[in-house]
Amino acid sequence: MRKMTMRRAFTVSFLRSNPLLLSHSSGNSAVVALDNHYYFNSSSSSSCCVFTSTFHVYAISHFSTNPNPTHARLKQLLLEKSKSGFDKLDDALAVFDKMLHRKPLLPVISFNQLLAALVKMKEHSVAVSLFKDMCVKGIPVDLFTFNTAINCFCHLNRVDYAFSLLAGTIKRGFHPDVVTYTTLIRGLISQDNPAEAQLLFTNLIRFKLIQPNVVTYTTIINGLCKRGHISTAVMLFRYMEKKGCKPNTVTYSTLIDCLCKLRLVDQALGLLHEMTKKGITPNVITYSSLIQGLCDFNRWQDVNQLLSEMNTRNISPDVYTFNILVDAYGKEGMINDVEDVIEFMNQRGQHPDVVTYNALMDGYCLRGAVDKALAVLETTMKKRGIVPNIRTYNILINGYCKKLKVDRAVDLFQQLPREGLSPTIHTYTTILQGYFLTGRHVEARKFFKEKMMLNKALTLDNFTCSILLHGLCQNRFVVEALSFFDTMLSAGLIPNICIYSTLIDGLSKNGHLEKARSLFDNLPLKGLRPDVKTYTMMIQAYCHDGLLNDANELFLKMEANGCLPNDVTYNTLIRGFFHNKKYNEAGVLMDEMCARGFSADASTASALLDLLKSQEQNPALLALRKKFLT
């Protein structure tokens, strides 16, 4: 409650007293099922084949400008649209059509600007079609045109075509430049091919093809960050400086964001300090990343401090910044603050978007107010013309499943095609979990086999598999679970520690302790380290079967292996001692648990009270009650 007061003070009064802050407006494996067995279908579908399509028909234009603009007007229009994009795709196509029939032909720069406008609109596929059309019709092109087309192919995840076009560029007598190669490096990284990206970068330097610039380095640093190689990213960051290439705001922001996402927010703040000391100005992106990093730790005063700093520097928070705040408050259950921020955004012309409303709806759902969340979709969003996306529906579906209203969730799921939305793996997994949560395992298994396994567009991941394995084990379908586990392995899915923990738990609870123990013992062979949950589950399994020595030994071993027991681990072993009448050992462990700042949970307390009921005079139990239940 105290936190709530502090937070509300922050949101309302802080933002209102800083008007400057708001000064501007505005796997491809599919699976098939037969009987109770699960089979992966290894065929994968490649979806994108943009370059082979020819652009034939231009949609009827709704373009409302002069139907016959002068050359100068057209050039001016293209210059403007290359920066902002056209409002409608049809408008861009109509302009292209006009340009094709212009005599004399407009300069190549105008065509390049049209392609740039399409890129701004994220219409990469259309840009590629127009580029092809230009080539076919003999419209002059230059290196800018090729670079843009190469970039479009990279955005369409067709780096292979991008490289073909690189060959085409050279064949046409152009010399690919640093932009060409930086684009290709980004394409390789985004297609999860960092080795090729590194090779290209090394060769470019070795053969002196280009001198990498700040964008090249930043692109690679970002790629490294996104793949979790932060230390290599930092090394490259220092290396570029050594090579005389000065990092800029984007470079620093990239690293700062990465550090924040790794929860190293103080190091990120250190970089903010470093950049400002060097005279490199942070911008709204830099601050938004840091604000998010601080929100993750509930460091509200520091968030306040940064917002104040932004105000001093005349940097206005944008929709991203506000969405970060809305999401953070929503996750903390501070729904009043969420509503305040949204109202504030509206007042200041920073219009909430689908991300804002999704965060609001998620906040409602976390408090169990799913109907209120649905009202946001059906009234506010509709009224404001904000189109819901699949996440909007996933939030509602999840909300209903958590409230055990699975039928309502399925209704929404069935509504998706009418809304023009395709369910994602999140949608399916939520419903699967909903069925298991409500004990409807027959429907859960049917849903998985019929809707998920047969769906070639769906790539199952470890999270989904763990939900299925847990549900199967919980309902005593151990053989089916093991069969599915084998299927996962043969399909090439590499199980993570969660999968093994789920199986170890499921097996031991279904009387297969030895199988569970074998899986546990073989984890190092799989290159996996048990985490605190895995250890705790195995300890629980031993306790359940009365193997107190094994449980205690493992308890001691986990800490020796660098894995600290948590409150669940302590309570599990303590209850194990209770059930095996080892009251003194339980007492010693309870002392240790309290010394570490943990306490007996409800289940442990209840177990102790039950024991006291039947053994009222047991001195060891009386001592425990005196010590821990007063």
Site residues (CB under 7 A) for DNA, limited to 549-578: none
Kindly indicate which of the ranges 92-100, 123-131, 427-435, 486-494 contains the residues binding DNA, using the contact rule CB under 7 A.
427-435
**Beta pairing class for 37-41 and 30-34:** antiparallel
Whichever of 50 and 605 has its CB closer to DNA, that residue is: 50
When binding is defined by CB under 7 A, the residue of 33, 81, 234, 257 that contacts DNA is 257
When binding is defined by CB under 7 A, the residue of 288, 304, 552, 604 that contacts DNA is 288
Query: In the beta sheet, which residues pair with residue 33?
Result: 38
When binding is defined by CB under 7 A, the residue of 61, 65, 267, 424 that contacts DNA is 424
* Range 452-481, binding DNA (CB under 7 A): 461, 463-464, 467
- The mark string for 290-319 relative to DNA (x by CB under 7 A, - otherwise) is --x-------------------------xx
Kindly indicate which of the ranges 1-9, 158-166, 210-218, 564-572 contains the residues binding DNA, using the contact rule CB under 7 A.
210-218
- The mark string for 512-531 relative to DNA (x by CB under 7 A, - otherwise) is --------------------
User: Cα angle vertex 568, ends 563, 570, to 5°?
Assistant: 75
Q: Give the shortest CB-319-to-DNA separation in angstroms.
A: 6
Kindly indicate which of the ranges 193-201, 423-431, 581-589, 607-615 contains the residues binding DNA, using the contact rule CB under 7 A.
423-431
* Range 55-84, binding DNA (CB under 7 A): 79, 82
The token duo for 574 is 């303590």
Does 284 participate in binding DNA (rule CB under 7 A)? yes
* Range 341-400, binding DNA (CB under 7 A): 353-356, 358-359, 362, 389-391, 394-395, 398
What is d(CA 7, CA 336) in angstroms, rounded to the nearest whole number? 10
Does 321 participate in binding DNA (rule CB under 7 A)? yes
Does 498 participate in binding DNA (rule CB under 7 A)? no
Kindly indicate which of the ranges 192-200, 228-236, 244-252, 517-525 contains the residues binding DNA, using the contact rule CB under 7 A.
244-252
Kindly indicate which of the ranges 93-101, 197-205, 426-434, 558-566 contains the residues binding DNA, using the contact rule CB under 7 A.
426-434
DSSP 594: H
Q: Give the shortest CB-455-to-DNA separation in angstroms.
A: 13
Q: Give 171: exposed, middle or buried? Use CB within 10 Å, 0-12, 13-18, 19+.
A: exposed
Helix runs in 20-88, H state only: 71-84
What is d(CA 275, CA 273) in angstroms, rounded to the nearest whole number? 6
| Closest-CA residue to 129 (of 78, 56, 180) | 56
* Range 105-144, binding DNA (CB under 7 A): 108-109, 112-113, 116, 119, 142-144
For residues 486 and 39, is the Cβ–Cβ distance under 8 A? no
Over the Cα atoms of the chain, what is R_g? 30
556-594 in b/e burial notation, b at 16+ Cβ within 10 A?
Answer: eebeeeebebbbbbbbbbbbbbbeeebbebbbebbeebe
The dihedral formed by the CA atoms of 480, 483, 484 and 489, expressed in degrees to the nearest 10: 160
Amino acid residing at 353 = D
DSSP 531: -
Does 327 participate in binding DNA (rule CB under 7 A)? yes
